[in-house]
Amino acid sequence: MSRLIVVSNRVSLPRDTGGGSVGGLAAALGAALREHHGVWFGWSGETTPQYTGQIAMERIGDVTLARVDLEPVDVDEYYNGYANKTLWPLFHDRIDLTAYERSFDAGYARVNARFAEALAALIGPDDLIWVHDYHLAPLARELRALGVKNRIGFFLHIPWPARQLLVTLPGHRKLVEALFHYDVVGFQTQDNLSAFTGYLSKEIGVGTPDDHGMVAAFGRRTRLGAFPIGIKADDFSDGALSQGGQESFARMQESMAGRRMIVGVDRLDYSKGLEERFLAYEQFLATQEAQREKVFMLEIATLSRDAVEAYQDLRGRLDAIAGRVNGAYGTMDWVPLRYVNTGYRQDELAGIYRAAAVGLVTPLRDGMNLVAKEYVASQDPEDPGVLILSRFAGAAAQMGSALIVNPYDRDEVSGAIQRALTMGYAERRRRWEKLMDNVVTEDIVAWRESFVDALKGEVRTPAARLANDAA
Catalytic site positions: 157, 366
H helical segments located in 64-189:
72-74, 88-91, 102-120, 139-145, 163-166, 172-179
CA atoms within 13 A on the CB side of 451: 32
123 C-beta neighbours (distance < 10 Å), count:
20
Q: Compute the distance between CA of residue 69 and CA of residue 49 in angstroms, rounded to an integer.
A: 9
Handedness of CA 189, 192, 193, 194 (dihedral sign): positive
Q: Compute the distance between CA of residue 250 and CA of residue 227 in angstroms, rounded to an integer.
A: 37
Q: Give the end-to-end CA distance of the chain in Å, rounded to a whole number.
A: 37
Q: Compute the distance between CA of residue 324 and CA of residue 339 in angstroms, rounded to an integer.
A: 12
The angle at the Cα of 180, spanning 163 to 457, to the nearest 5 degrees, equals 120
Phi, then psi, of 93 in degrees rounded to 5: 65, 25
- b/e for 61-93, b at 16 or more Cβ within 10 A? eebbbbbbbbbeebbbbbbbbbbbbbbbbbbbb
Phi, then psi, of 208 in degrees rounded to 5: -70, 140
Q: Compute the distance between CA of residue 187 and CA of residue 240 in angstroms, rounded to an integer.
A: 30
The two beta strands, 214-217 and 337-340, are unpaired
Phi, then psi, of 44 in degrees rounded to 5: -75, -20
Q: Quickly list DSSP for 132-153.
A: ESGGGTTHHHHHHHTT--S-EE
H helical segments located in 330-424:
346-355, 371-378, 410-422
The angle at the Cα of 228, spanning 226 to 231, to the nearest 5 degrees, equals 160
Q: Compute the distance between CA of residue 303 and CA of residue 236 in angstroms, rounded to an integer.
A: 23
